[in-house]
Structure 1
Amino acid sequence: MDIILEWFAQNETKLLQFVIDFAVAIAIIIIGKWVAKLVRKGISKMLKHKKVDAAVISFVGSIAYGIVFFVAIIAAISHLGFNTSSLVAIVGAAGLAVGLALQGSLSNFASGVLLIVLKPFKSGDFIDVAGISGIVEEINIFSSKLRTGDNKAVIIPNGKITSSTITNFSTKPTRRLDLVIGVSYDADLSKTKAILTKLTSEHELVLKDQEVVIGVQELGESSINFVVRPWVNSADYWTLHRDLLEKIKGAFDDADIEIPYPHLSLQVKKEEVVQA
């Protein structure tokens, strides 16, 4: 017993310092955990404000929480006097090995983060990307899902999305419809233009506060091509596209204006047979 008391007496200062360091290390971990929760809460709030999918919010929040808490643990261990270089090196090597094994997935993950932060499109938008057109249904951390016009679900890796040109047809509230209408070279151009002008000006879906461009675009091989460019609300684009084409065809039929199609003329050359 005396030996134990004597040891405590000789190491009283060291023990007191260890207790203080240990208490500080515990405090660092507690504060680190509190900060990690705040970071996760802040990120979740920001992503919810951007209307990101709940699964993505949870995943990103967990990653942020784990990183902050890991830094706090390393700081606590370092405060106790332990060499954390080896631990960090081991964790780094393990992370590198996992990264090399999952480099494709990590690329998609990084691209998913970019899509969330930059937000080039959102759920419900009609986009064209990587040669696929459709309505965005889900934006997940590794991939995004589009629904095509024929009701097919297409899953596209986020890495492929960010490396491709993205065309978002829903970003702006209005769009310009570009139609090219060919008429015969025998057609009356003034009459043709008057019909096209009347159809666009009277159509209920054509925006009246925007200029409609109508005129001859080119003299083609078998037709004179008119360009018709009315403006329409983005949601009514395809409705106007279909309806206007039908009305133009009907009006041209009534006015005896021919919509030509390419003709191919074949000349057959007969060779004379010389009899001996």
Structure 2
Amino acid sequence: MEYDLSIDNLAVVKEKAIDLAFQFGPALFKALVLLLVGRYVIRLLLKVMTKALDKYEIDPSLATFFKSFLSAILWVLLLISVATTLGMEMTSFVAILGAAGLAVGLALQGSLANFAGGVLILVFKPFRVGDTVEAQGTLGSVESIDILYTKVRNFDNKVVTIPNGALANNSIVNYSLKPTRRVEMAVGVAYGTDLKKTRQVILDTLKKDERIHEDPAPVVYFTNFGDSSLDLTIRCWADVADLWPVYWDNMEAIKEAFEAHDIEVPFPQRDVHHYYPEGKK
């Protein structure tokens, strides 16, 4: 196919291009300016809202949710304004937006469930930002609660993003809701050991730790005849922040107390009886 690139045709094309530029150029320029200014205004409003929420000490969970929700609404309004500036009629745009919203709603049913789950979490507050929770196979500290997802940082510093719908419809274990926690330790002593003496040694060791509460008082129970040991369970109460330090420090202290009082901590062992055929060594 051959194209007619004569001077007359080029002039016509140039003239049409100039006409289109004069016709749509101003609207396009206005839409671009509106988009840039609107983006700046949205950021400014979010900063103002953040300062206001911090000033009035709004719960961090609600603060994050409100900021995410406001950002989504502002961006939708900005896109509508840009479309109107480009010459799209509002009624047509609303009709298109409604049809698109229906299609998107059907396609994103899971996201809508996550949104509803986020609202339920913020209303009933099974956990807050900073709480230690166990949910959906993840144990860690809640970093943020957004519109659709909750971020949990586990104890090896990995951030797990969990859908709010799954959190709202399944069991959640909150380790931070109560101010105190029970510390449970397990030890074993050799068969033949005086259990009363062992119990008293353990209780005397626990009394030296000021972090352990006196009420409820620590207890030591004999719980099992093990293969190589008599198994004991130790239970005491401490503040949530002291849970693991109390556990680690007292396990070591009990081991040292056992050594000081000649209480044997056994290791797995087996008795082997070897029978030789008659007449053979």
Q: CA RMSD in A?
A: 3.3
Taking the aligned partners of 2:276 and 2:107, their CA distance within structure 1 comes to: 71
For residue 226 of structure 1, what is the aligned residue in structure 2? 232
Taking the aligned partners of 2:183 and 2:138, their CA distance within structure 1 comes to: 20
For residue 193 of structure 1, what is the aligned residue in structure 2? 199
For residue 156 of structure 1, what is the aligned residue in structure 2? 162
Work out whether 1:123 is the aligned partner of 2:99: no
The Cα shift of 1:167 comes to: 0.9
TM-score after normalising by structure 1: 0.65
Taking the aligned partners of 2:273 and 2:108, their CA distance within structure 1 comes to: 64
Taking the aligned partners of 1:253 and 1:93, their CA distance within structure 2 comes to: 77
CA 1:202 to 1:194, structure 2 compared with 1: closer, same or farther past 3 Å? Answer: same
CA 1:101 to 1:192, structure 2 compared with 1: closer, same or farther past 3 Å? Answer: same
Taking the aligned partners of 1:141 and 1:270, their CA distance within structure 2 comes to: 75
Work out whether 1:110 is the aligned partner of 2:138: no
Q: In the TM superposition, what whole-angstrom CA distance separates every residue of 1:48-69 from its partner, at most 9, and x where no partner exists?
A: 744335342034457899xxxx
TM-score after normalising by structure 2: 0.64
Work out whether 1:178 is the aligned partner of 2:184: yes
* Structure 1 residue runs without a partner (length 5+): 1-40, 66-87
CA 1:61 to 1:236, structure 2 compared with 1: closer, same or farther past 3 Å? Answer: same
* Structure 2 residue runs without a partner (length 5+): 1-48, 75-93
Q: Secondary structure at the match of 2:61?
A: coil
Residue pairs, 1:38-77, within 5 angstroms? 49-60=58-69
Q: In the TM superposition, what whole-angstrom CA distance separates every residue of 1:70-100 from its partner, at most 9, and x where no partner exists?
A: xxxxxxxxxxxxxxxxxx9998765442222
Give the one of 215, 218, 225 matched to 1:212. Answer: 218
Q: In the TM superposition, what whole-angstrom CA distance separates every residue of 1:93-147 from its partner, at most 9, and x where no partner exists?
A: 6544222211222222121111111111111111111121111111111111122
Taking the aligned partners of 1:160 and 1:269, their CA distance within structure 2 comes to: 62
Taking the aligned partners of 1:59 and 1:115, their CA distance within structure 2 comes to: 15
Taking the aligned partners of 1:270 and 1:90, their CA distance within structure 2 comes to: 93
Letter aligned with residue 255 of structure 1: H
Taking the aligned partners of 1:221 and 1:146, their CA distance within structure 2 comes to: 40
Number of residue pairs matched by the alignment: 210
The Cα shift of 1:218 comes to: 2.2
Taking the aligned partners of 1:228 and 1:266, their CA distance within structure 2 comes to: 33
For residue 74 of structure 1, what is the aligned residue in structure 2? none
CA 1:120 to 1:64, structure 2 compared with 1: closer, same or farther past 3 Å? Answer: farther
Letter aligned with residue 261 of structure 1: F
Q: Secondary structure at the match of 2:60?
A: coil
Work out whether 1:235 is the aligned partner of 2:241: yes
For residue 152 of structure 2, what is the aligned residue in structure 1? 146
CA 1:200 to 1:55, structure 2 compared with 1: closer, same or farther past 3 Å? Answer: closer
Taking the aligned partners of 1:266 and 1:91, their CA distance within structure 2 comes to: 81
Identity of aligned residues (%): 42
**Bigger mean CA offset, 207-216 vs 241-250:** 207-216
For residue 81 of structure 1, what is the aligned residue in structure 2? none
Letter aligned with residue 201 of structure 1: K
CA 1:114 to 1:179, structure 2 compared with 1: closer, same or farther past 3 Å? Answer: same
